[in-house]
Structure 1
Amino acid sequence: MNARKRTVVDALNDAVDGIAHAFGRERNMRLHLLFALLVIIIAVCLNFSKQEILLLSTIISFVFMAEMFNTAVEITVDTLRQEMHPKARKVKHISAGAVLIAVINAVVAGYILFSRHLALSWEAGISRVKQSPAYVSFIVLLLVLILVIAIKMYLRKGTPFRGGMPSGHAAFGFSAWTMIAFISKSTLITVLAFGMAVLIARSRIKRHIHSLWEVASGALLGIFVTIFIWHIFKT
């Protein structure tokens, strides 16, 4: 019997599963993620240019990639070798050295990028974020995505991009509706956005991808996260 043909969604789920395994296995990965999110938020508040944000994101990605390759090497060596061979130990040391080089590069590049902005007023940076719905929207959607994947990983239900608790589509749909309700002065646009969010949620139930409870949980997550972040940046 022929195996089911793999789809793009299958490949994405496998990739995210690998990332999740690395985060679950390596404490350093979790620390890197926390630090990376903090750095990105500070960079936005300090009014980094698009080019600087792109460079910063690339540097952070290299650190994650190096750490994940190091994790893959460690797992491979531990699987193939029951006893620690001197050469196997060297392989681990080399992969750990690659992580160290990536981290040192990130620190140096980060210092260069941030040093030219340190003279700027922090209050001015925060004020700019508060006055720009686009920045706040980006932070909201990023946080919703992280929370949806984290909850699915914790509950071990569904895959990161399909099924499970909570519904990511519902979370994004109702998060977008909540942001539009805050930004738009048109009642019609707000009502239409709500209708779109409901249709998205309904489609997940109709296609038997999510239960009503999973969709409702996703919708509430999207709404409350949006209200919380909006309250922080807009008050």
Structure 2
Amino acid sequence: MKPTRFIDSVNCAVQGIIYTVRTQKHMRWHFLAALVLLLAALLFRVTPVEFMLLSLSVSFVLFAELLNTAVETAVDMITPEYHPLAKIAKDVAAGAVLVASFGAAVLGYLVLAKYIFPLYREGLSVVGTSSEMGTIVSVLLVVIVVIILKAVTGKGTPLHGGVPSGHAAVAFAIATSITLNTQEPLISLLCYLLAIMVSHSRLLLRIHTLREVIFGAMVGTALAAGVSTLFHFVG
């Protein structure tokens, strides 16, 4: 029955939010991202206007995810079997979440970049600038280590499958080397974004598991940073 009291309407709304959080993995990630974003805003003491913009962007993403869940549930109730129109409805609702998330990411970058980037530059300066020779050595060392690890584990080939993901390792090694060479946070962010896209492709192709990709990313990043630090202090 339709609730007649205001408190009953509020309870129904809260139940809808709880259902979405319990059943939708993406909603849980959105809430986690919102928590991190708001804690960062508190830590960096953003202005009231900036906090208002961040809060609106977070609310919009959560709102879009709630609507997406409502659309998916309604479509499943009408036609539990596959139907082209049902797929379109779900895809459009998911697209709304993607657009909202992209807008929130851009807004978060514009607001928080001036607080985070100076700290990021200081952290990069501790490791030091990577030399041309250091970059070449880093990539070659990553390739050699990946081949050795795959030979030890006996899984996959140097270019396909196995532990760790060679593509992820090399991609993150290159991203780390470019980051240390440029010392520019925006370039670093874009390079790591490309590295993540390369790593994600290995998951989409079902060539590697998530654990293998993460391990490869850690190997590539650690070796590139370690070689750069070694060349920085030795030089």
TM-score, scaled relative to structure 1 = 0.48
Structure number, greater radius of gyration = 2
